Amino acid sequence: MDILAVVLIVIGLFFLTVGAIGMLRLPDVFTRSHAVSLTDSLGAFCLLMGLALYQGVGINMLKILVVLALLFLLNPVIAHATIRAAYRVGVKPKAEEHP
Amino acid sequence: MKATYLTQFIMNACSLFAVWLVLSGRYDLPHVMIGGIVACGVAWLNTRLQCSSVHHFSLGRLLIYAPWLLGRIVASSLHITKVILSPSLPIAPKMIHYQMHLKPELAIVLLGNSITLTPGTITVEVEGDHLLVHALDEASCEDLTSGRMERRMAGVFKEEASP
């Protein structure tokens, strides 16, 4: 069980690192948000699942799962708010328009 | 099922109290009592009688949708990882105007949330049934443009989305 937990944590850290690299490499705020959503969703998911397994069944595992559920509900809201604010104040995305 | 003020209030108070119990982790009388009082107080401040569009919703179907979404998240995460780590950085960002056929507000919220949660696509603007989505490249927005994600979401709400 501990080995599975460590493997999950390492996978999570890998995605966090990739997200950070993407943050540096991608050109503008819209594309960077995609790199951040990588760390938000799969990175945080693997990391917290690993921690939950490492804790074993109990109150701490339940707390971590609550944090995970809140993260999945709230992170898209925050990302959407940031991006919408950028769009409304007139940051132009380097993107082609599609109907 | 019509949501009256009382059932709404009781549901809010109970869910807040459950969160208190999980997060406090102490089960002696004073802590539990404080939690109950605070939960009732917050529920009293926050309950409004307006959430009535919940009746199409089924939790069981959402439990079918969630693993599918998780699978899509893993697939597109791997795709985005490949894009970011490849030396030539092959991105082709674009804005997609997407016309939804979903009616319930909760369905629209969940669809926008799913789009943002999936790496590679992000909801920029929601106006009525019109979504503005930013995508990193062609492959990452395929689920949305083919209408697959909306059909899945429509399945949660027992509604047929016309293509």
Average pLDDT, chain A: 86
Question: With 70 as the cut, is the pLDDT of residue B69 above it?
Answer: yes
A92: closest CA of chain B, how far (Å): 11
Nearest CB to B116 within list A22, A79, A98: A79
Please indicate, yes or no, whether residues B76 and B138 belong to a single structural domain of this protein.
yes
Please indicate, yes or no, whether residues B79 and B138 belong to a single structural domain of this protein.
yes
Please indicate, yes or no, whether residues B79 and B113 belong to a single structural domain of this protein.
yes
Specify the range with the lowest mean pLDDT, choosing from B52-56, B68-72, B95-99.
B52-56
pLDDT of residue B160: 45
Question: With 80 as the cut, is the pLDDT of residue A93 above it?
Answer: no
A55: closest CA of chain B, how far (Å): 15
Please indicate, yes or no, whether residues B99 and B74 belong to a single structural domain of this protein.
yes
Element (H, E) at B95: strand B94-99
The answer to the question of residue B51 being in a domain is no
Please indicate, yes or no, whether residues B42 and B63 belong to a single structural domain of this protein.
no
Q: Which residues of B touch A76 (CB under 8 A)?
A: 112-114, 116-117, 123
Nearest CB to A93 within list B95, B112, B119: B95
The answer to the question of residue B161 being in a domain is no
Please indicate, yes or no, whether residues B78 and B142 belong to a single structural domain of this protein.
yes
Question: With 60 as the cut, is the pLDDT of residue B159 above it?
Answer: no
Please indicate, yes or no, whether residues B145 and B110 belong to a single structural domain of this protein.
yes
Please indicate, yes or no, whether residues B76 and B151 belong to a single structural domain of this protein.
yes
How large is the ipTM? Answer: 0.82
Please indicate, yes or no, whether residues B40 and B74 belong to a single structural domain of this protein.
no
Give the span between the Cα atoms of A76 and A62, in whole angstroms.
22
Q: Residue B76: which of A56, A40, A95 has the closest Cα?
A: A40
Report yes or no: B81 at the A interface, CB cutoff 8 Å.
yes
DSSP B77-129: HHHHHHHHHSTT-----EEEEEE----SHHHHHHHHHHHHHSTTEEEEEEETT
| B81-118 confidence digits (pLDDT tens) | 888 888 888 888 888 888 888 777 788 888 888 888 88
The whole domain housing B129 covers 59-156
pLDDT of residue B104: 78
Please indicate, yes or no, whether residues B23 and B97 belong to a single structural domain of this protein.
no
Other Cβ atoms within 10 Å of B26 Cβ, number: 10
Q: Say which DSSP state B120 is in.
A: T
- Count of positions (residues) in chain B: 163
The answer to the question of residue B14 being in a domain is yes
Based on the structure, what is the number of domains in chain B? Answer: 2
